[in-house]
Amino acid sequence: MDMKTSALSPEPASEPSQGTFSAETGWSSEAPVRPSLEEVHATVRVPATGHWLRRMLAFAGPGYMVSVGYMDPGNWATDIAGGSKFGYTLLSVILLSNLMAILLQALAARLGIAAGLDLAQACRASYSRPVNFMLWLVCEAAIIACDLAEVIGTAIALQLLFGIPLIGGALIAALDAFLLLLLMNRGFRFLEAFVVALLIVIAVCFAIQIVVAAPPVAEILRGFAPSREIVTNPAMLYIAIGIIGATVMPHNLYLHSSIVQTRAYPRTTEGRRSAIRWATADSTLALMLALFVNAAILIVAAAVFHRSGHTEVAEIGDAFRLLSPLLGLGIASTLFAVALLASGINSTVTATLAGQIVMEGFLRLRMPMLARRFVTRGIAIVPVIFVTALYGESGTAQLLVLSQVVLSMQLPFAVIPLVRFVSDRRKMGDFAISTGTAAVAWIIAGVIVILNVKLLADTVAG
């Protein structure tokens, strides 16, 4: 479907449109004139009547695109390291981070639909220029860290499947910009369908491996119960924070607040309220799939490596080589690598869109998507090539885990503004969240800040 011709009629004149936000509504005159991701804004039709399933399917898509970031190659490194070294213990961290993600992504969708602003635009309309510039730099660092994980993951997958050297694979990964451009030209629905198809490939690959591994259900259930050791053991805490950073990704909050606006729902109070409900259901269901994939990676690592005494497996390449012999299934390693490649390709789409949203929202700087992709990917490729040349495969594996910890360190700079905006009745009006929901959201923000301070203290202390 063509992106331009599929748009519905213009928004009702009685409703405020982009650029009309004022001090009376709590947003400054810095609110944007152009909508977020203007080329795909309100291009996906939403049926006004009919069965509820049709409306749910019309809104299905943004949540699955966001869920990509919750099962990207960075998650693989932290989940494999956590499962092989500590068994099922860190399953509770995966569950906790997923519950945090469900709430935070619902808040991001609410901001985008109710205010008509993505998170970057909302920050620009609320903070001074120096603060916005600092937030933009922090967010760009998070996107580069995410891109770093994608480059490494894709390069490793190409090496495992086709024997391509890591440096060559990293250079090939730069060409994915053309894939994204092709998909965007086909329409946003086509892009979503491509993402969902790859998510299904990943889920099926791990479902097969879990069935073959036959992990003990009782131990898995115990792993979902929180353990004090996670906080007291520095090594476990490092991986735990990496899991949180790899799961609750800061740029996903910017992404979700934008792409929910691709739906052509009525820009009225009731239309926005209905859109928030469907968008929340979409992201919740999608993140439950992400929970399954993340948990599956750790469970397979615990059942195969930890149980057999291979507790130091932290690298994706080692996991690939050991998986088939230890599982007794010849195709297991191939399934593992195929899922990794699908994950790397998928993550490319969301990271590029997030980068465009952040740049336009904070700086009002529009850059062609192809150019934007090559700049970001080029920055990410440099450390991969440098580390690979100096330290080989083991160096890239450590770089992969480190990138997820860096992501976690950026989280407060996205979460705190988001919670502040959606709980502010002056900005959100009747769409502001309840006091109870706001309390839970602030607790989540506090937990993220405390864990990051603890990690910094442990790192400084050696």
Considering the chain, what is the average pLDDT of its residues?
82
Which pLDDT score, from 0 to 100, does residue 432 have? Answer: 95
CA distance 398 to 379: 18
pLDDT of residue 196: 92
From first to last of the 462 residues of the chain, give the pLDDT tens digit: 444 433 333 343 334 444 344 434 567 655 556 888 888 888 898 887 778 888 899 999 999 999 887 887 777 877 888 899 999 999 999 999 899 999 999 999 999 999 999 999 999 999 999 999 999 988 888 777 777 777 788 888 999 899 998 888 878 877 776 776 677 778 888 889 999 999 999 999 999 999 999 999 999 999 999 888 888 888 888 788 777 766 677 888 999 999 999 999 999 999 999 999 999 999 999 999 989 998 999 999 999 999 888 888 877 888 888 899 998 888 989 999 999 999 888 887 777 788 888 888 898 877 776 676 667 666 656 766 777 676 666 667 677 667 766 777 788 899 999 999 999 999 999 999 999 999 999 999 888 788 777 766 665 665
**CB crowding 133-171: b at 16 or more within 10 Å, else e:** eebbebbbbbbbbbbbbbbbbbbbbbbbbeebebbebbb
Positive or negative torsion for Cα 90, 95, 99, 104:
positive
13's CB contacts (< 8 A; 6+ apart) are: none
d(Cα 384, Cα 398) in Å, to the nearest integer? 11
Cα dihedral across residues 453, 456, 460, 461: positive or negative: positive
Domains of the chain: 51-460 (1.20.1740.10)
Angle at 244 between CA 242 and CA 247, to 5 degrees: 105
Q: What is the DSSP letter of 305?
A: I
Q: Which residues contact 386 (CB under 8 A, 6 or more apart)?
A: none
Report the C-alpha gap between 28 and 431 in whole angstroms.
18
C-alpha 169: how far from its chain's center? 23
167-to-173, 313, 393, 396 alpha-carbon distances in Å: 10, 22, 10, 11
What are the counts of helices (DSSP H) followed by strands (DSSP E) for the chain?
19, 0
- 44 three-class SS: strand
